[in-house]
Amino acid sequence: TAAPVKIAVTGAAGQIGYSLLFRIASGAVLGDTPVELRLLEITPALKALEGVVMELDDCAFRTLAGVEIGDDPKKVFEGANLAMLVGAMPRKAGMERGDLLSANGAIFTQQGRALNDVAADDIKVLVTGNPANTNALIAMTNAPDIPNERFNALTRLDHNRALSQLAAKVGRPVTAIQHMTIWGNHSATQYPDLFNTLVDGQSAAELVNDQEWLEQTFIPTVAKRGAAIIEARGLSSAASAANATIEHMRDWVGGTPEGDWVSMAVPSDGSYGVPEGLISSFPCTVTDGKYEIVQGLEINEFSRAKIDASVAELEDERKAVTELGLI
C-alpha cells in the first residue's frame, strides 16, 4: 500500500472543517490513497477539535491512516503534502478593512513561513479563509522557497454557484454546461463569465439572450450568494464551501476533465492583462498535478470592464497589505 498523503487543514474545529474532514477522510480528494490529517486550531478550540477527532475515529474510515492535532503550525504542517487553509479571522461588527487585513496578515504570514520551513517538497496550498485571494498572496510571499504556483485561493464555490444558477435558467442539468469561468477576486466584484460558457456546446450568453438577466440577476445572485445563505440559515455557507475546497484540491491533484476547465484563483503570469503576481481567478486546466491558465479566450468589452474592476480591487488589497508590511 502507498504511504499516506499528509493533508493539513486549518480552522479544523470550525463549521467548514466539520463538513470537510469527514469527506477528506473517506476518500473524496484522493480516492483509495490513505490520508493522514494534520489539523491546526487556535489553543481555545483544541478541546472542540478533540471531539471532532473522536467522531473521525468513530467512522473507522479505511482510508484514514492517522490524525495529528495542534496549535503550532511548525509541528502540524511537518511533512504536509497538501494544505487547506480554512481558518481565518472573520470580520466583526465595527471592524475596518485594514483591521481585517492585519488580523489575517498575522495568521497567514506565520502559516506561510511554517509551510516554507516544514512542509513536503511537493506541497500544494489552497486558501479558503477570507479574504482568500489576499491571504494566499500573504502566505505565498512569506514562503520564498515554495514555488509561487503552489499557492491557490478558492473560487470554486463561486464557479459551482454560477453553474447551478445557469442550469436553472436554461432548464438543463449542470452536466450540460462546460467552460464556466469566474474571473478576479472571491468577493462581490467577482465576474462569472457566460460569454465563454457553453450549454450543450452552444454559447450560454446567446442561448440566454438576455443581457438584463445577466447583469441584474445572474451576476449579483452568484456574487451575493454568501450573504443570501447567511440571511436564510443564520450561518455562513459551510457544506458547499467544504465541497468546493475538496473539488478544487481533487482536481488540482487528479486533473480536470477532458474538454472542460474549472475556475481557480492562481498567481497571475500576466494573462488577460491581470498584473503579474496577483492571485486572481482564471479558467484553468490541470494535467499531472500542474494547472495551466486557459489561453486565447475572447474577452468582450463588457467582460473586460468587469474583470478590470475586480482586478483593481485585488490591486488595492495588495497595496494595503504591502503598506502593512505583510508582504
- List contacts with ligand NAX (CB under 6 A): 10-11, 13-17, 40-42, 45, 86-88, 90, 107, 128-130, 132, 154, 157, 186, 226, 236-238, 241
The residue to which cell 509541528 is assigned: 75
User: Considering only CA atoms, which of 192, 82, 149, 127 is closest in space to residue 291?
Assistant: 149
| 11 marked ligand binding residue | yes
Quote the crossing angle between the two packed helices 239-254 and 156-170, to the nearest 10°: 110
Is 15 assigned to a binding site? yes
175 neighbors 259 (Cβ within 8 angstroms): no
Pick between residue 34 and residue 151 the one whose CB is nearest to ligand NAX.
151
Who's near 212: CB < 8 A, 6+ residues apart? Answer: none
User: Is 172 assigned a ligand-binding role in the annotation?
Assistant: no
Q: Say whether 241 counts as a known binding-site residue.
A: no
Tell me if 124 sits within 8 A of 253, measured CB to CB.
yes
Closer CB to ligand NAX, 205 or 244, in the complex: 244
Q: Position of cell 505565498? A: 140
The answer to whether the annotation marks 165 as part of a ligand binding site is no
Report the alpha-carbon distance of residue 156 to residue 165 in Å, rounded: 14
| Shortest Cβ 266–ligand NAX spacing (Å) | 14
Question: Contact, 199 vs 166, CB < 8 A?
Answer: yes
Q: Which is nearer to ligand NAX, 22 or 195 (CB)?
A: 22
Q: How far is the CB of 281 from ligand NAX (least distance, A)?
A: 10
**81 appears as a binding residue in the annotation:** no
Coil, strand or helix: which one is 66? strand
Minimum distance from residue 44 beta carbon to ligand NAX (Å): 7
CB of 260 to ligand NAX, least distance (A): 20
- Alpha-carbon distance of 288 to 219, in angstroms, equals 33
| Shortest-Cβ-distance residue relative to ligand NAX | 14
CB neighbours of 93 closer than 8 A, spacing ≥ 6?
Answer: none
Catalytic residue (one of 159, 179, 186, 248): 186
Query: 317 with 134: CB under 8 angstroms?
Result: yes
**289 known member of a binding site:** no
Q: Which uninterrupted H or E stretch holds 84?
A: strand 82-85
Alpha helices in the chain (DSSP H): 15-25, 46-59, 73-76, 97-118, 132-141, 156-170, 204-208, 211-212, 219-223, 225-233, 239-254, 301-323
Taking the least distance from each CB to ligand NAX, the nearer of 187 and 197 is 187
161 vs 179 by CB, closer to ligand NAX: 161
Is 186 among the catalytic positions? yes
CB atoms within 10 A of CB 240: 18
**Residue 14 among known ligand-binding residues:** yes
Quote the least distance from Cβ 202 to ligand NAX, whole Å: 29
CB of 76 to ligand NAX, least distance (A): 9
Q: Which residues are catalytic?
A: 186
Which positions make up the binding site for substrate? 91, 97, 130, 161
Binding site residues, as ranges? 11-17, 91, 97, 104, 111, 128-130, 161
Q: Residues forming the annotated binding site for NAD(+)?
A: 11-17, 104, 111, 128-130
